[in-house]
Structures are given as C-alpha cells and as structure tokens.
Copies of this chain bind each other. A is one copy, B any other.
Amino acid sequence: MIKTQMEMYLHEELETLTRTEIEALQFERLLRTVRRCMKSPFYQKRFAEAHLSPEDIRSLDDLRKIPFTTKQDLRDNYPFGLAAVPMSEVVRLHSSSGTTGTPTVILHTQKDLDEWANAVARCLYMVGLRRGDVFQNSSGYGMFTGGLGFQYGAERLGMLTVPAAAGNTKRQIKFITDFGTTALHAIPSYASRIHEVMEEMGIDPVRDTKLRTLVIGAEPHSEEQRRKIEKMLGVKAYNSFGMSEMCGPGVAFECTEQNGMHIWEDYYIVEIVDPQTLEPVPDGEVGELVLTTINREAMPLLRYRTRDLTRILPGDCPCGRHHKRLDRMKGRSDDMMILKGVNIFPIQIETVLMQFEELGTDYLITLTNEEANDLMTVEVELKEFSDDYPRLQALTREITRQLKDEILLTPVVRLVPKGTLPKQEGKAVRVRDLRRTLI
C-alpha cells in the first residue's frame, strides 16, 4: 500500500476509529491478552491469588478487577518470569541498566518488533515525515530503546535513516549539513546543545540546513522550552512519549496540533489513577499513568503502574484521531506531595518558575507544619543577585501570585543568590518534607 504525500494517516483505518470502535477493539484485544497471560507463570499466580479467571473479564470495565503490575514485579521475576510465549519465539530483549537495583527485561517476538516499528512509523508519519525525508537519530543504540526503536520505525516509513547514535556534537552537525537531514530525534537539552555548537561553528540552522522537524522526548521539559528550541533551530518540535516497559518510543506522540500526545489505544489501554488511592481520576485531572498492553505477544503487561504523572486532555482533537491525548509528563508519582489534601507535583512549581527570566534553574520546596497547618516554602535562585530591593519585592509578589494560581495554595517565596541551594551527589534537591506526623 503506497501512500501519497498528501494522505494524513499511515494506518487510516486504525487512526480514525470512533470511540465506540476503539473500545470494541480494545475489549477484543484485552480478552486475547488476558488469555495469553495465562501462559506466563507470573500472571497465572497473580490471577489465582486474586481468585480471578479470564472468564471474569466480560467488559472493558472489568479490567479494573485485575491487580496492578509494578516495576517491582518485573524485578522479582527477572529475567524471563513474565514471558507468555516459549523463549524460542523471543527474538529480542531490552534490559534496563539496573543502576538502581535489579535490572528489568522486556521481551519481544518478531511480531512485537513488527508492531513496534508500525507504531513508531505511524507517529513519524503523523507529523508529516515521509519517504524522501532524512531522519537522523541521536539516541543511544543497543539496549536503549530509542535507538533501535526509531531506527526500525523510520526505515519502515522508507525515510533515509542516519543512525548517528549519541554524542559527538560536531559530527552530528556534519551529518545534518552533509546528508541534508530534515528530521532529528534528540532529547531537548541535546537539541539546545546542537544549536549552541552550530553557533560556535557559524552555522545558521535555517540558512545552512534542511532541518524542519524535531522529535523530542525522554526528558521532562516545558512548553516554553519547546517554543525556544523551535525558534532557535527553525523547526517544529513534536513531543514523543515512550518507555522501555511498553517497547520504547511509539507509545504516544503529538499530532501537528501540538496539543497533547495521542496514545495509540489499539496498542494500549490507558488509565489515570490517584497514586494514593489507586482509584481512577476524571479526564483532565493529573494522576499516575497506568497502561495495559493489548497488542503484544512475548510479554504482555496488565495495568502496569508507570509511575509517570500526567492527565488525559479532555475534548476532541481537530486532527480527526479519537485516540486519547496525554499531557506532557508532570514528573514521577514518587515525587507527589499532598498538602492540605491537595496533590501537588514539583513540575507544577517548576513550570511557573521557568517563566521568569530573572530566575535560575535551581529551586527547593520545603514542607513544614505548625499545628496541623501545612506550609510550603519555595526558595529559588536568582540568575544575578541585585540590591534593587523594590524590584525583588515585586518579583517575589508576582511569583507567589502565579504559584497560587497553579497550586491553589499560597507558598512562601524566597529569592536566594545563585549556588546557595543544597545539592546531593551533584543533583539539585527539589523537595524537603520536614512535616511532623500528628497522631
């Protein structure tokens, strides 16, 4: 099936399903997945313990009868305890580095790799990339899923792929200019670095390169940062969401509206739950992303707790896809603070602070309590200290006002000189909870 340049959808049938059709397909695939899971020693046991059998799943809502799967489950059953096919059918594994504890492993059959490539190809096609484009991938390869993941997806689309891999910025730039790279996959901070080195080399990204599309992901960043990168490099930058537990890249991706990432609901069932109660939260509210793979053979995961915080953007997307849209990730559920019964995430504070040109990038949130009264103090570093006190006072007031708008609580804001906030192993400490528990 040859696609013309003008066609909007790579997999038109799947991308334009109505909500009813999506849910019908999801239920069908969920049933198949649950049955498949009964071949994995881990899920056999898990279902038995929950007194659950595949026959108990009679509707999409029955998904909630199934216990969650966690990263710890993957660790406890390392390496192959979640395999739902004979190991002779597995053609690839990706392993996490395991720098923090036992590594985890994800398994793929040939069909899994094929469907993964399809998902990535669909994402790239969605933002206008076509055969004839030159796609440069600055991900690490090998065990990093961004390497082989984008490689296979971009090849599937028939683009000229440049497997640049990570590092050596000057060489990346030489590839961009020599090969006429039109699309680059890079994490946001690396895209900024490429621009910086281009400037040093006297290369104007608009005049001297054909770069028009940037795929960014893997690293938290704000809308402001995205717009800045787009302006610097003269590109459109699209957010990509993936995680190795769900293959890697290709889970959710922005369409040309740049307003939330469509999650491919023919591959995944998405839930957003309160990280405390584990109850679902309504669309539009932030919670922990929980994903169920429904298009995977080797190692299906049921209700996997990703620990990533995000929300479903309510409403329809003008692009014609009814696949739900995820907001950019808002941090990790482990970072969530509960203050006066309200869930607050450091990224919310950060997003507000980053809008002020006078502020640096380091900040510290301290939580204290006095007589059951929770108090938040936000210390933030100034880029340059000044003794223009009236200006500093006004700035403090404005920051406080905007934070209150965001988190619905009034914090105490303190501006401090650069380099004065505490660091731990070189990394900034973001949150310090000094509240005493009242019994």
Residues of A bordering B, CB below 8 Å: 78-79, 87-95, 97, 105, 110, 113, 131-132, 141-143, 147-148, 151, 155, 158-166, 171, 175, 178-179
Q: A113-B155, A158-B91 are in contact. Are A142 and B141 (CB under 8 A)?
A: yes
A-B contact pairs, 19 of them (CB 8 A): A78-B178, A91-B155, A91-B160, A92-B155, A92-B160, A92-B161, A93-B161, A93-B162, A93-B179, A94-B163, A95-B162, A110-B158, A141-B142, A141-B147, A142-B165, A142-B166, A143-B163, A143-B165, A148-B163
Q: Bound complex: CA of A110 vs CA of B92, how far in Å?
A: 21
Q: Are B161 and A91 in contact (CB under 8 A)?
A: yes
Nearest residue, chain B, Cβ from A132: B88
Measured CB to CB, the nearest residue on chain B to A130 is B88
A1 CA to B39 CA in the complex, in Å? Answer: 27
Copies of this subunit: 2
When the two chains form their complex, are residues B91 and A159 in contact, meaning their CB atoms are under 8 A apart?
yes
Docked pose: A313 CA to B147 CA in angstroms: 40
Asked if A175 contacts B95 (CB within 8 A), the reply is: yes
Distance in Å from the Cβ of A316 to the closest Cβ of chain B? Answer: 35
Taking a contact as CB atoms under 8 Å apart, the answer to whether A155 and B87 are in contact is: no
Closest to A151 in B: B148
For residue A154, give the distance in angstroms from its CB to the closest CB of chain B.
8
Tell whether, in the assembled complex, residue B131 and residue A88 are in contact, meaning their CB atoms are under 8 Å apart. Answer: yes
- Minimum Cβ distance to chain B for residue A177 (Å): 10
Shortest beta-carbon distance, A201 to chain B, in Å? Answer: 16
In contact, B142 and A164 (Cβ under 8 angstroms): yes
Q: Which 7 A-B pairs have the closest CB atoms?
A: A142-B165, A141-B141, A88-B132, A142-B163, A90-B160, A141-B142, A91-B155
Residues of B within 8 A of A110 (CB): 155, 158
Given contacts A141-B141, A165-B143, contact A160 B79 (CB under 8 A): no
Query: With the chains together, A60 CA to B110 CA distance in Å?
Result: 40
- Minimal beta-carbon separation of A146 from chain B (angstroms): 12
Q: Closest B-chain residue to A168, C-beta based?
A: B97
Chain B residues contacting A166 (CB-CB under 8 Å) are 142
Q: Assess whether A79 is in contact with B178, with CB atoms less than 8 Å apart.
A: yes
**Judging by beta carbons under 8 Å apart, are B148 and A142 in contact?**
no
- Inter-chain pairs besides A92-B160, A110-B158, A141-B148, 7 sampled, C-beta below 8 Å: A79-B178, A79-B179, A89-B158, A92-B155, A93-B160, A141-B163, A142-B164
* Assembled-state Cα–Cα distance A384/B148 (Å): 48
Chain B nearest CB, measured from A208 CB (Å): 16
B160 contacts A143, C-beta separation under 8 Å:
no
Q: How far is the CA of A166 from the CA of B148 in the complex (A)?
A: 15
Residues of chain B within 8 A (CB-CB) of A161 are 91-93
- For A113, what are the chain B residues with a Cβ–Cβ distance below 8 Å? 155
Chain B residues lying within 8 Å of A164, measured Cβ to Cβ, are 142-143
CB distance from A395 to the nearest CB of B (A): 46
Considering the chains assembled together, what is the distance between the CA atoms of A399 and B424 in angstroms?
Answer: 61
Across the two chains, which residue of chain B brings its CB closest to A178?
B79
Question: Which residues of B have CB within 8 Å of A97?
Answer: 171
CB neighbours of A142 from chain B (8 A): 141, 147, 163-166
* Pairwise interchain contact B87-A160, C-beta atoms closer than 8 A: yes
Of chain B, the residue at the smallest CB distance from A138 is B142
- Shortest distance from the beta carbon of A350 to any chain B beta carbon, whole Å: 33
- Minimum CB–CB distance from A140 to chain B (whole Å) comes to 8
**Smallest Cβ distance from A158 to chain B, in angstroms?**
6
Chain B residue, CB-CB nearest to A164:
B142
Q: A89 to B158: give the CA distance in the assembly, Å.
A: 7
Contacts of A158 in B (CB 8 A): 88-89, 91, 110
A162 — nearest CB in chain B belongs to which residue?
B93
CB of A124 to closest CB in B, whole Å: 13
Set of chain B residues within 8 Å of A92, measured between Cβ atoms = 155, 160-161, 163
A94–B95 alpha-carbon span in the complex (Å):
26
Closest to A160 in B: B90
How distant is the Cα of A71 from the Cα of B92 in the complex, in angstroms?
Answer: 35
- Shortest distance from the beta carbon of A144 to any chain B beta carbon, whole Å: 8
Q: A166: nearest residue on chain B (CB-CB)?
A: B142
> How far apart are A351's CB and chain B's nearest CB, in angstroms?
34
